[in-house]
Amino acid sequence: MTVVRGTFDTSFLQLRVPVIRAKRQPEPLPTYRQIVRAIMARVLPRSRFMVDVPKTKGRACLTFEDGPHPEYTPRILDVLKAEKVTGTFFLIGEKSQAHPDIVRRIVDEGHVVGNHTWTHPHPGTLSGSALVEEIESTDRLLNELTGKSPRLFRPPMGKLTIREFARVWRMSKSIVLWNNDPKDFACGSSYELRAKLSRRPIEPGNIVLMHDNQPFSGDVLSETISHAKRRGIRFSELPIQ
């Protein structure tokens, strides 16, 4: 038997698997509501409707809503005081009635208070007159506690009908929404919230939406502020004229 010695080209046996590169997912198209909001922000003065603050001033605004909470709001206030930063708190009337000392502390430490209705009703569940009563009741209480009736108003979930907008404006309110929402209410841990803020860091012109009735905002707030400061961002309460 003859044995053939040598080398053989076995490259034909190798499988060639094409490299499939992942395509970058396109940005989702804006919703009708987002389009309307963008148009309103362009045509209306900030004294009536705010979703951002001027970028040219290099500033951003931290806003907190759905409090005061007996544990989480004081923790946030401690961080803001340590960082020498002021913010804006949109308070619920019935919670303010339950925790008046926290409301007074918010104002005493230089923060701005806004109206976030009395009970935080789900959008569309109240008549126009009932919404006005919610706002007026909260105004009366906050005026009793702080000596001032708030000019700023944030609707629950940021939603109002056109008729509700008109009613609120007749009350001489400035309606404040946001343009940076890390959705802290949906986070299951400080790590998750930290990751969201890392993917979309605070930029000049941002009105940042956070919640002082949630456990994780206070955990990441100090490092979030420090990171923004290192990038030259200054913080201020609303409104910025």
How many other CB atoms are there within 10 angstroms of residue 93's CB atom?
22
So what's the pLDDT on residue 46?
A: 82
CA atoms of 152 and 210, how far apart (whole Å):
16
CA atoms of 236 and 102, how far apart (whole Å):
20
φ, ψ dihedrals at 127, nearest 5°: -75, 165
Q: Which two tokens stand for residue 130?
A: 């009932």
CA distances from 164 to 65, 100, 160, 170, 222 (A): 20, 28, 6, 10, 36
* End-to-end Cα, the chain, rounded Å: 98
8 A C-beta contact, residue 184 and residue 215? no
DSSP string across 128-157: HHHHHHHHHHHHHHHHHHHSS---EE--GG
Q: Note the pLDDT tens digit of each residue in 212-240.
A: 999 999 999 999 999 999 999 999 999 75
So what's the pLDDT on residue 36?
A: 79
Fold of 60-235: TIM Barrel (3.20.20)
CA atoms of 218 and 190, how far apart (whole Å):
9
DSSP 200: S
pTM assigned to the model? 0.85
Contacts of 97 (CB under 8 A, 6+ apart): 141
Share of the chain above pLDDT 90, in %: 75
Q: Which two tokens stand for residue 141?
A: 């209480």
The domain segmentation of the chain, as residue ranges, is 60-235
Q: Note the pLDDT tens digit of each residue in 47-98.
A: 889 999 998 889 999 999 999 999 999 999 999 999 999 999 999 999 999 9
Q: Which two tokens stand for residue 179?
A: 């343009």
Q: Which two tokens stand for residue 52?
A: 């951002």
Q: Is the pLDDT of residue 12 over 50?
A: no
* pLDDT bracket for residue 206 (50, 70, 90): very high
* pLDDT bracket for residue 173 (50, 70, 90): very high
